[in-house]
């Protein structure tokens, strides 16, 4: 186990009928004016917008609104938010949505007090010293952003989909009412499950040794998520499964699961380059990339892949290597059974584009921890993922 220094100060308010506590939570902090960030219209349909607004009004909290935040959120929207926030002198941000909205909130929160252009914070040219408090109402469980301090934004002018983070960016309060996810289309539920599983894989297969307790936690999240996503594809409105799904998704990436480990994150980087060029959901991209990465790196930690095979898929026969290889196939089959894509070809990627994707992903190479990956490795992984 590696040394760690860990603190997650986000307050998590979880369960049925919890959105009505939003206004009180903001008011408690002495805050009176906020910006409301959200995406398209889904929060109007599922009642979340009305609930949140009522709660703000009851607590006499003023608000301005910025809508239209898209999946794979973009830098231009972050800049727009910062402009509006400064103009209106807001004191906090309320993000209503999923990871895209929350990540936009985080970038805007740090950018609000920064004099230069907010992209500097992504490039490492500056470090945030102060940030506006963030409150979130989660409407789709996937990224874990509701209880961590990081985010991912696409700089659309430079084709860079990059992550950033700061301890200042933990949401002050996150409200998760799993029942608001009853109305999610199946493919979004599936993408959320795959995103969650991928976060666990990044931490689980990172090459750190002696991580028994964290391996147990990871395996618990994987098994629970695999069980409940299948239930939800049959029974979209099963509250208990929505709750297990939502809490798994948060726990996968709220820091605990990473204690004592370094994390790998190569697959996320490789996927980011994919969704920077092709407009596909992050979860769908990960369904394609992760099994390919696993095949490419299995030899670097045969024992861990064997453990994965035994603990997740109850595979007990064969050599260590055979078990691991079988588990990777089983994972791919599982993704297929959920209706997720598992090859680049089927989502319309041109084979000729692979070198360009590899160039993009290698911009900050070497990436990864279990195996340090350079451009040629990344290209090989795209090729494995192709068909």
Residues of the shown chain interacting with a second copy in the complex, contacts defined by CB under 8 A: 1-16, 18, 210, 212-213, 216-217, 219-221, 223-224, 227-228, 240, 243-244, 247-248, 251, 256, 259-260
Which residues on neighbouring strands pair with residue 138, listed in sequence order?
97, 176
Q: How far is the CB of 378 from a second copy (least distance, A)?
A: 32
Q: What are phi and psi of 114, to 5 degrees?
A: -95, 130
Q: How far is the CB of 317 from a second copy (least distance, A)?
A: 18
Nearer to a second copy, 219 or 359 (CB): 219
**94, 137 contact by CB (below 8 A):** yes
In the sheet with 173-176, reading across from the earlier edge strand, the strands are 62-66, 33-38, 92-97, 134-138, 173-176
Largest CA distance in the chain: 65
Nearer to a second copy, 22 or 75 (CB): 22
SS3 state at 37: strand
Helices (H), 142-261: 186-204, 212-234, 239-252
Nearer to a second copy, 179 or 269 (CB): 179
Nearer to a second copy, 207 or 260 (CB): 260
Q: How far is the CB of 329 from a second copy (least distance, A)?
A: 24
Nearer to a second copy, 28 or 125 (CB): 28
Q: How far is the CB of 143 from a second copy (least distance, A)?
A: 18
Q: How far is the CB of 13 from a second copy (least distance, A)?
A: 5
Q: Residue 108: name the closest of 121, 98, 96, 123 by CA.
A: 121
Nearer to a second copy, 33 or 227 (CB): 227
How far is Cα 182 from Cα 250, in angstroms, rounded to an integer?
A: 18
How far is Cα 6 from Cα 65, in angstroms, rounded to an integer?
A: 34
Q: Residue 233: name the closest of 282, 189, 286, 193 by CA.
A: 189
How far is Cα 386 from Cα 125, in angstroms, rounded to an integer?
A: 36
Nearer to a second copy, 3 or 60 (CB): 3
Q: How far is the CB of 213 from a second copy (least distance, A)?
A: 5
SS3 state at 332: helix
Q: How far is the CB of 259 from a second copy (least distance, A)?
A: 7
């Amino acid at each position: 186990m590696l040394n760690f220094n860990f603190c997650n100060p986000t307050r998590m308010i979880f369960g049925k009928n919890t959105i009505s506590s939003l206004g009180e939570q903001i008011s408690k902090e002495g805050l009176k004016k906020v910006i409301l960030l959200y995406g398209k219209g889904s929060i109007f349909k599922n009642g979340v917008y009305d609930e949140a607004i009522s709660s703000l009004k009851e607590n006499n909290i003023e608000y301005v609104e910025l809508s239209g935040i898209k999946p794979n959120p973009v830098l231009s929207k972050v800049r727009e938010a910062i402009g509006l926030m400064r103009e209106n002198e807001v004191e906090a941000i309320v993000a209503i949505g999923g990871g895209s909205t929350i990540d936009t909130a985080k970038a805007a929160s740090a950018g609000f007090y920064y004099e230069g252009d907010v992209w500097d914070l992504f490039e490492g040219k500056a470090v945030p010293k102060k940030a506006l408090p963030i409150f979130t109402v989660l409407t789709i469980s996937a990224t874990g952003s509701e209880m961590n301090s990081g985010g991912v934004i696409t700089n659309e002018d430079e084709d860079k989909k990059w992550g950033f983070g700061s301890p200042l960016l933990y949401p002050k309060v996150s409200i998760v009412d799993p029942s608001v996810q009853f109305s999610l289309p199946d493919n979004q539920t599936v993408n959320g499950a795959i995103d969650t599983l991928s976060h666990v894989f990044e931490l689980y297969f990172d090459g750190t040794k002696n991580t028994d307790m964290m391996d147990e936690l990871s395996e618990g999240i994987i098994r629970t998520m695999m069980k409940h996503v299948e239930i939800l594809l049959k029974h979209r409105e099963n509250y208990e499964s929505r709750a297990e799904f939502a809490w798994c998704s948060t726990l996968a990436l709220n820091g605990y699961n990473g204690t004592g480990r370094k994390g790998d994150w190569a697959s996320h980087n490789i996927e980011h380059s994919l969704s920077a060029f092709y407009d596909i959901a992050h979860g769908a991209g990960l369904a394609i990339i992760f099994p390919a990465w696993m095949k490419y790196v299995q030899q670097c930690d045969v024992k861990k892949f064997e453990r994965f095979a035994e603990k997740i898929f109850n595979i007990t026969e064969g050599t260590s290597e055979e078990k691991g290889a079988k588990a990777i196939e089983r994972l791919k089959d599982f993704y297929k059974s959920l209706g997720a894509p598992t090859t680049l070809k089927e989502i319309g990627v041109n084979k000729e584009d692979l070198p360009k994707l590899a160039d993009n992903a290698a911009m900050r190479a070497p990436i990864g921890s279990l195996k340090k990956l350079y451009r040629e490795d990344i290209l090989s992984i795209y090729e494995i993922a192709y068909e």
